[in-house]
Every structure is written in structure tokens, then in C-alpha cells.
Structure 1
Amino acid sequence: MSFPLPDGLPAGRFLTRGPASVWVSEEFPDDVERLWPRLNMHGLVPLLCPPDALGGPLDPEQVDAVRLEERLAADFAEYRRRRLPLWKAPTPAQVPEDVEPWPHDPGPPFERWPGLAPPMPAPPAGPTPEEAASGLVAELIDEGRFGLEECCLMLVPSRRSSDALALTGWSAEAPLPLLCALLRSWEDRFGAQVVAGFGSELHVSVARPPVGAEPANLLALEHVLSTADNIVDDPPTPFPEYAANLIGRTSWSFWWD
């Protein structure tokens, strides 16, 4: 089943994903930065992704079934149980003399699940979610991000950017129902938009990032519980440092090994 397309798209085709279809360009569009800002106006979610990263679409009911706070509270209790000995370690593990020791991570400043980070208000002169997403697209291209050249432009018929991964069945080692539930919540609270998924990396733009230490700590814990391997573990980053770096940050990156 196809859907109306905006003018000015490069050559592409429709692919069937379960009961829905997505449109996929034949190659990476040269002018994707120009296209991006107006695609959302057509009720379509743009996504940069390699076609071979598509899997079986996730039933939205599986995302609806995730009781996010209950799930995160249980996951944090288990995560804290496993990591507490490392957080309490007075000295870093022994390493060879020519290797710089990893910094000690004291862990999150919470003994029990503290609740979700509060939603951030839109600043008077801040970007819209669509503008923040366009900015991240330009940033990824300017960086020449490895793996981006294998992506195509996908258009997903969805009201929410956060549901694009579920509808395309984006394949990675991520727990997709939990990740999609988190993305929905981040979209509501922070104006987050899924921009690109390639390899096992996911890149998300943020229109309303946290502006203080307390909400940044709460949000950082949500990032940890996404199960992404790069959050505080790779490279080794103490939790307080990771959380501080989220203040005012307009893009988040996640990857799963």
C-alpha cells in the first residue's frame, strides 16, 4: 500500500513492511538537508537508514504494553545490584603501567528508582523538533560519520517520529519495545526525533534538552537503562560526567554491540 509523496524526491521505491509500506530512496540523497525540513509537513517521518537494517515490523501494541516506569524501576534495581560493587570500589582495577587506568565511576546518585526526568519547556528562541532534526542531519553529514554513506532516505507514514523504528523493524541488539517506549516518552518530554539508524547506532535530535543537574541525572539514568553499550561503559565514562554532558545537548547517540 503506497501513500502520496511530496515533490522533489530522488528516485526510490515502496517496500512493504507488514500491513504498512515505507518509501526508500535508491541512494543517499545529495540534498537531504534541503528536503528534511518539509518532509514532516506531509505526515511522514524521515529516517536515514540502510535498507538491510529493516526487519519485521513491531506491532504497536507491543510498545503500548510497556509500562515504562514499572519496567525502568525493575531494571534499575537489577542494574544497581550488579554494579554496586564496582561503584563502591575505592581504587580502579589494576592495569599495566603503560595503560591509563579507567576513571572510577561512582554510579547514579540514587538508591532506588527516582522517577522519570521532568519534561522541558520550549525556550522562547529554541528550535522546533523539526529544526533540531534538520540540524543533526547536517551535523552528521559534515562529520562524514562512518556508515552514513550506506544509508538511504526512508519515509515512514507515522504521526510520531518515535514510532518509525517500530514500523520499519529497525534491527539492532536493542530491546526494541522498550527502546520505542522510551523514544515516545523522550519525544513528549524533550522534543526528541529519531534521525538515523545505521550499523547498531541510533542518532536522536533533541529540541528541549535538560537545563540543570537534577533533570540531567534523571535523564542519564534513563539512557543507561536503554541498555545501549556506549552509555558510561564504552568508552568508560563516570555517570556524573555523562549526565553533565547532557545539559543543553541537542543530540544523543546510542549504540549496541
Structure 2
Amino acid sequence: MVTETNNLPGLAADPSRRALGLDLPSGRLLNETYQGPWPYPLMWLADARAVPGQWSAQEAARRAADLVPVLVDVGGPSGDPEGWDLMCGNLSDPEDLGAEEMLSYHWAELREKRAGGVVAPFDAPWPGLAGAVSSDVDPDVQAAQMADALSGDDSWLKDPRLALVSAECNADIPAAIGWSGALHHEDDSGVLSAVLRSWDERFGTRVVALTANRLVLSVAAPPTTLDQAVAVAAEHAAFCPDDLDRSPHATLEEYAAHAVLGRRTWVHHWD
């Protein structure tokens, strides 16, 4: 989850923010909500709204510093992420979890909760993981393009800020900061990151933005057939059942056709 060498404190100790080869705007460290004997840094967060080009401008330097970028929206009802109850203690390590095991478990759990005339889309057995999709699009380039779009004046994000997280890979961002946006459905963000690692491998996804209860992913290799999309839709339903509950498309097939097939953006929104 968190890298063995956490360079975040170095940003706080260096007012110029250049010691790690970075040239960042002004910002600050956010520490874990529950602080033990000492503060534990979870992310560096810029003081001002992100602008297009900021994400990709220093990609090489960020990689050298083992810091992963993500946009954090501080303009929603929950405001600054200091109010999001970020806690990374006692989480599962994504490396120790299997995506299919986690998704099939949640699928079965949701079927049980909705038993007695099980409603769509949980009225069928777990179908298994969807197959990988090949693409000639670089996932990091796709993510940077989406970050630029979400940083623009017409973005649906209210106040996106560039943040840097110390994590082994992009998929581990939720686990590295103890993101609690899915708390009522999944209280262990390590599980979320285990699934995100699998989506990274199969569909070239990247976590591009976080709000208090939304996870925005870029998708370099989205499903290109309806059968593939339906299989992915089942994974979405197990990962974030609120996606389907909120959707006007009641069946997996309808959701897949409108929200998954060929879509290069996946937004998971927990109530």
C-alpha cells in the first residue's frame, strides 16, 4: 500500500518543493485523522485549484520520488479531505487479496440481503471475472488527458486540487490514504485497491479523482462487446452496488450498454 520510502515529509520540510526534483505549487501535508504518538502523512495537497497540464508536467519527477498523483475535490459538501475520516491503520494489504474472491463475496452478500424475490442485477449467480481487453492506448496518457479535462473550467468537480500520495501504484491510492468513501458498503479500502489492481491489469484503469464518496477512473481498454461489458457490469455491481441502484437501467445488460461499453470513464458513487 504505502511505499517503504515515504517522501511526503520531504515536501513539508522543503518550502521550495524542489528537493525531490519536483516543481509544485504551494501546498500542505494532510495527516491521518486518528493520530497516534506522531502524525502520519497521507497526502500532499495543493492549496489552489488544479489547472490543465499540471498532472503530466512533472510525471518523471513524481515517479522518481515514488509519489502518485490524484485529483482531490475539496469543494463538495464534505469539504476538505481532513473531514473525510481518512484512516489507513488496520487495513488489508491489496497484495494479500484476490479480486475475484472479494467481488464474488460481495455479490453473494448482496444477493442474501435482497433475498425473497431477488431483484436485478443480483438475481443470478456470480458470473466470474471479465476477460482482459487489449488496447493500444497508454493508461497513463489516458489518465493525464482525463485529469486535464477534470481540471478545466467546465469540470463537474467543484474544486479539484492536485494531490500526491505515497503508494506502490495508482490502484493503491484508496488503501494508502484509508479513503472512506465506500464506508457503508466496504469498510476496508484495501479491498477496493485489490479490485483496482485487477482492473488496472485487465482494462488499464487509473484512479484520477476522488471526492468524499466518488471514485473516478480513466479506462484505457474499455469493453468493446456487449458480452464483455455485461461481465464488467457485474463487477461494478459488486464493487459499488449504488451504481446500479442509482442507474435508470435496471438490468445488467442495460447498465452495461449505457455505462460500460466503450466508456473510458467509470465513476463509482456511494450514497
TM-score (norm 2): 0.74
Instruction: Report the equivalent of 2:223.
Output: 210
In structure 2, the partner of 1:98 is none
Matched, 1:24 2:26: no
Do residues 130 (structure 1) and 153 (structure 2) align?
no
Cα deviation per residue 1:57-76 (whole Å; 9 max; x = unaligned)?
Answer: 25664433433322322322
- TM-superposed deviation, 1:215: 1.6
Name stretches of at least 5 consecutive residues in structure 1 with no aligned partner.
88-105
1:162 equivalent in alignment to 2:171: yes
Q: What does the per-residue CA deviation read over 1:52-110, in whole Å, with 9 as the maximum and x for residues that have no partner?
A: 236112566443343332232232233334267254xxxxxxxxxxxxxxxxxx536x8
Aligned to 2:244: 232
Matched, 1:85 2:117: yes
Q: Which letter does structure 1 place at the counterpart of 2:201?
A: D
Structure 2: stretches of 5+ with no match in the other structure: 1-8, 12-18, 33-38, 75-80
Q: CA deviation at 1:185?
A: 0.9
Of 183, 186, 198, the match for 2:199: 186
Offset of residue 140 of structure 1? 2.5
- What are the Cα deviations for residues 97-132 of structure 1, in whole angstroms up to 9, with x where unaligned? xxxxxxxxx536x83222111111123xxx311111
1:62 and 1:256 map into 2 onto residues whose CA distance is: 22
Matched, 1:248 2:254: no
In 2: Cα distance, 1:19 partner to 1:192 partner: 28
CA change 1:143–1:207 in 2 (3 A) is farther
2:105 is equivalent to residue 74 of structure 1: yes
Report what 2:4 is aligned to. Answer: none
Residues in 1 aligned to 2:27 and 2:157: alpha-carbon distance in whole angstroms? 20
- 1:166 maps to a residue whose letter is A
Q: Check the 8 A contact 2:104/2:238 in 1, yes or no.
A: no
- 1:119 equivalenced with 2:140 (yes/no): no
> Post-superposition shift, 1:143?
7.1
* SS at structure 2 position matched to 1:120: coil
Q: 1:37·1:130 contact (CA, 8 Å) conserved in 2?
A: no
Task: Give the residue type in structure 2 aligned to 1:35.
Answer: Q
Matched residues in 2 for 1:143 and 1:249: separation? 22
How far apart, CA to CA, are the structure 2 residues paired with 1:74 and 1:15? 33
Q: Which amino acid aligns with 1:47?
A: V
> CA 1:198 to 1:5, structure 2 compared with 1: closer, same or farther past 3 Å?
farther
| Aligned positions of 1:97-116 closer than 5 A | 107=121, 111-116=124-129
- Mapped to 2, the partners of 1:34 and 1:20 lie a distance apart of 26
Which TM-score applies when normalising by structure 1?
0.78
Q: Partner of 2:162: helix, strand, or coil?
A: strand
Shift of 1:222: 0.6
1:92 is aligned to none
- Percentage of pairs with the same residue: 30
Q: How large is the RMSD of aligned CA atoms in angstroms? A: 2.6
Question: 1:167 deviation in Å?
Answer: 1.2
SS of structure 1 residue aligned to 2:24: coil
Structure 2 partner of 1:10: 25
Q: 1:40, 1:130 within 8 Å by CA — same for their partners in 2?
A: no
